[in-house]
């Protein structure tokens, strides 16, 4: 799900949880996924529909906050 859509869905109350996990393809990076109230999950993707990954948790947290998300679980 692209950033603008995440903002919209979150504002509408359709995102029930936000999770941060290590990127399975590169354990030195982190990715974000969102659970919708219907139980489906979506990764944060860029403009090319590729999963966004972050080397820095600080950068990831800043991005998630910018989407209006105030709580996320980090899984290590």
Overall pTM > 0.85: yes
Summarised one tens digit per residue, pLDDT across range 43-62 is: 999 999 999 999 999 999 99
- Mean per-residue pLDDT, 10-27: 93
List, in order, residues 6 or more apart from 58 with CB less than 8 Å away.
Answer: none
Question: What string of DSSP letters covers 2-58?
Answer: -HHHHHHHHHTT-EEEEEEEEETTEEEEEEEEEEETTS-EEE-B-TTSPBP-BS-HH
């Amino acid at each position: 799900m692209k950033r603008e859509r995440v903002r919209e869905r979150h504002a509408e109350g359709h995102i029930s949880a936000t999770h941060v996990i290590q990127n399975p393809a590169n354990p030195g990076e982190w990715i974000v996924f969102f659970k919708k109230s219907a139980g489906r999950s979506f990764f944060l993707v860029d403009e090319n529909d590729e999963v966004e990954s972050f080397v820095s948790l600080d950068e990831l947290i800043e991005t998630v906050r910018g989407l209006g998300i105030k709580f996320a679980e980090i899984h290590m």
